[in-house]
Amino acid sequence: MLILKIRKDNPYKMIATSIDQIPAIACFEDNARGRVLLGAAYLFHKQGYEKTTVRELANFIGIQSGSLFHHFKSKDDILAHVMQQTIIYHYARMQDAIALSDLPEQQLKNLIRAELFSITGDTGSAMAVLVYEWFALSQEKQDELLKLRNDYENIWLDVIEKLRLVGQVKHDAFIWRRLVGGAIAWTVTWYRPNGKMTMEELTEIVWEMALK
């Protein structure tokens, strides 16, 4: 039987009470370690990193609290590995996206589509944690992940800079990426894949806005 829990901060939103009630997230392996990351990504997204206790996470997964630390050193370490696996998975996804075309404008469109799908599709919770919980991570862990995150961002920046050099993008590549990346990230709060707008229609809108 499906049992959901009412969020205290928002009684109109409900969250699952067991990992068995949620779908798999593609960037995490189907093993004991991956289940911890899956459960953590879901709870950190739905109720926030700070509000999720180690005991609550263990209960959600169906293990003893101490068992979490057979796989990870701390709660901070769990958050870091959620982010690490998310970045690695999506770095490969972005590389695949730009490989579909040699034209920078089409590469941009492919990147937009791929990131929108990552944010609102099969890895949405993990991507939301990466975007919204970055500063919950300790400085040490941020420093460890920074190169991975920069490699991911450089895929975008390289394409944007090519477009800027031919006049199709008028703004600094770094600022442009922050603005468009923020808009894409925010879709997790309102876009519904089964709603009135298709992913392709949303991609077209963001792409047209970006090149104006």
- Give the DSSP per-residue string, 107-171: HHHHHHHHHHHHHHSTTHHHHHHHHHSGGGS-HHHHHHHHHHHHHHHHHHHHHHHHHHHTTS--S
Q: How confident is the model over 58-103, as pLDDT tens digits? A: 999 999 988 999 999 999 999 999 999 999 999 999 999 999 999 9
Q: How confident is the model over 129-152, as pLDDT tens digits? A: 999 999 999 999 999 999 999 999
pLDDT exceeds cutoff 60 at 10: no
Q: How confident is the model over 52-69, as pLDDT tens digits? A: 999 999 999 999 988 999
pLDDT of residue 13: 56
The C-alpha atoms of residue 67 and residue 49 are separated, in whole angstroms, by 19
* CA proximity to 85, closest of 152, 184, 155: 152
What residues are paired with 5 via a beta bridge? 15
* Residue 30 tokens, joined: 């189907």
Percentage helix, strand, coil for the chain under 3-state DSSP, each rounded to 5: 65, 5, 30
Answer yes or no: are the C-beta atoms of 81 and 37 closer than 8 Å. yes
Answer yes or no: are the C-beta atoms of 5 and 19 closer than 8 Å. no
Beta-strand ranges (E) seen in the chain are: 4-6, 14-16
pLDDT of residue 9: 45
* CA proximity to 94, closest of 123, 65, 66, 68: 123
Q: Confidence class of residue 11 from pLDDT cuts 50, 70 and 90? A: very low
Q: Confidence class of residue 15 from pLDDT cuts 50, 70 and 90? A: confident
The whole model's pTM is what?
0.86
pLDDT exceeds cutoff 50 at 3: no
Beta-strand ranges (E) seen in 7-69 are: 14-16
Q: How many Cβ atoms sit within 10 Å of the Cβ of residue 201?
A: 9
What residues are paired with 6 via a beta bridge? 14
Q: How confident is the model over 163-198, as pLDDT tens digits? A: 999 999 988 999 999 999 999 999 988 998 889 999
pLDDT exceeds cutoff 80 at 43: yes
pLDDT exceeds cutoff 90 at 4: no
3-class secondary-structure state, position 88:
helix
3-class secondary-structure state, position 111:
helix
